[in-house]
Amino acid sequence: MNEPLVELRGLKQHFPVETGLLERLLASETQTVKAVDGVDLTIDRGETLGLVGESGCGKSTLGKTVLQLLRPTAGEVWFDGGRIDTLSDDDLRPLRERMQFVFQDPAGSLNPRRRVRAIVRRPLEVHGIGDSRRERDERTADLVERVGLSRNHLDRYPHEFSGGQQQRIAIARALSVNPEFVVLDEPTSALDVSVQANIISLLEDLQRDFELTYLFITHDLSVVRHISDRVAVMYLGELMERGTVEEVFGAYQHPYTYSLLESIPATDLEDRGQRVVLRGEVPSPIDPPSGCKFRTRCPIAIEECAEAFEDRKFSETHTVHCIRRSPEEHGGSATPVEEPPVEAESEGISD
């Protein structure tokens, strides 16, 4: 199954920086946060694409831009063969029910003053799905059961549920309109470890039953390895490496992927990543390094890394953004860097 459902071409999302009046008068041009800065990616129908990277690298912004919750600064978004970033809000409306978003924080995404029934039924009303209220109510009840809750829960309010149950409600709401594509933005990160696995397995069941395509955003490497068909590794708004799970976890090439996978004993990048792994700070997304954005923290960076360069293809599915790695020399190698980042003495090439 290699038919793209979603395709991103040179996608950028730059946010203007909030500045004081004086700074604005002094600055020669408006500064922007380059949250997503030139992403090319396809997501095939029926697959789960895992998107990983440290906190702040642009994962959520990418997800929202794909669904046109944010309109892109530049680049193109294609869905099911049609370009959608140029559509007006009116023309986008019929597509909205085919693409849904599940947020990290279920409590914050559910209206506290509405009962479960009204929350899950709402998208059906908005999109005019179902012929009668009764039909919509029936569909709502079925969905609530399908995500592992009971009909008795329909008349309760969100605060009466645990975090895991709240996320089940949010998932039922997302699926109520029968979407094809769902962006799951850290859907288990806010939950107790004990219930995370249940939600993951629910999402897997639902994907199979409803033939869903997932963009699964997470900083939890064990989750992404478990659930993904392909994985994309993001750093400062750009993809450093992407490939199948086997390629990215078993034969990774980019030094950044290496540092994520090898230098972190635990799986949780958000908790440990920035303290343990890499030397130096993540550069500012307002003024990121030229060329390879990782070069200021990379143990094998050379002068040429400061120049713009093309991705390198290691296989039909495996793409790496690093000029130090070549398929001829390093193809298949799972130990890509001469010096592991943790032990490296140098700070890499600085600006």
Ligand X SMILES: Nc1ncnc2c1ncn2[C@@H]1O[C@H](COP(=O)(O)OP(=O)(O)O)[C@@H](O)[C@H]1O
What is the x/- site pattern for ligand X, positions 281-300, by CB under 6 A? ----x---------------
Which residue's CB is nearer to ligand X, number 60 or number 176?
60
* Strand partners for 212: none
**Using the rule CB under 6 A, which residue among 48, 61, 165, 196 binds ligand X?**
61
Please list every residue from 48 through 67 that binds Mg ion, using CB under 5 A: 60
Q: Can you tell me the distance from the alpha carbon of 322 to that of 307, in angstroms, rounded to the nearest whole number? A: 11
- What is the closest distance, in whole angstroms, from the C-beta atom of residue 99 to ligand X in the complex? 18
Among left, alpha and beta (phi > 0; psi -120 to 50; other), residue 291 is left
Which residue's CB is nearer to ligand X, number 58 or number 341?
58
| Residue 58 interacts with ligand X (CB under 6 A): yes or no | yes
Contact segment (CB under 6 A) with ligand X among 19-27, 59-67, 113-121, 198-206 equals 59-67
Which residue's CB is nearer to Mg ion, number 59 or number 312?
59
Which residue's CB is nearer to Mg ion, number 60 or number 213?
60
Contact segment (CB under 6 A) with ligand X among 50-58, 122-130, 295-303, 339-347 equals 50-58
Count of residues engaged in binding ligand X, rule: CB under 6 A:
12
Single-letter residue type at 186? E
CB 327 within 8 A of CB 312: yes
Which residue's CB is nearer to ligand X, number 108 or number 331?
108
The length of the chain, given as a count of residues: 351
Q: How many CB atoms lie within 10 A of CB 208?
A: 10
Helices 163-175 & 133-146 angle (0-180, nearest 10): 130
Which residue's CB is nearer to ligand X, number 7 or number 37?
37
**Using the rule CB under 6 A, which residue among 42, 55, 263, 274 binds ligand X?**
55
- What is the closest distance, in whole angstroms, from the C-beta atom of residue 161 to Mg ion in the complex? 23
| Residue 207 interacts with Mg ion (CB under 5 A): yes or no | no
Which residue's CB is nearer to ligand X, number 31 or number 140?
31
- What is the closest distance, in whole angstroms, from the C-beta atom of residue 237 to Mg ion in the complex? 13
Buried b (16+ CB within 10 A) or exposed e, 167-202: bbbbbbbbbbbbbbbbbbbbbbbbbeeebbeebbeb
Q: What is the spatial order of strands in the sheet that 99-102 belongs to?
A: 99-102, 181-185, 213-217, 48-52, 230-235, 238-244, 319-320, 312-313
CB 311 within 8 A of CB 231: no
Contact segment (CB under 6 A) with ligand X among 54-62, 144-152, 200-208, 317-325 equals 54-62
CA 280 to chain centre: 24
Q: Can you tell me the distance from the alpha carbon of 62 to that of 210, in angstroms, rounded to the nearest whole number? A: 24
- What is the closest distance, in whole angstroms, from the C-beta atom of residue 314 to ligand X in the complex? 25
What is the x/- site pattern for ligand X, positions 6-35, by CB under 6 A? ---------x-----------------x-x
Q: How many helices (H) and strands (E) does the chain have?
A: 13, 12
Query: Looking at beta carbons, which residue is closest to Mg ion?
Result: 60
**Using the rule CB under 6 A, which residue among 31, 60, 140, 259 binds ligand X?**
60
Strands 213-217 and 48-52, how do they pair? parallel
- For 85, 211, 238, the CA distances from 306, given in Å and listed in that order, are 31, 43, 15
Which residue's CB is nearer to Mg ion, number 60 or number 319?
60
Q: Which residues bind ligand X (CB under 6 A)?
A: 15, 33, 35, 53, 55-61, 285
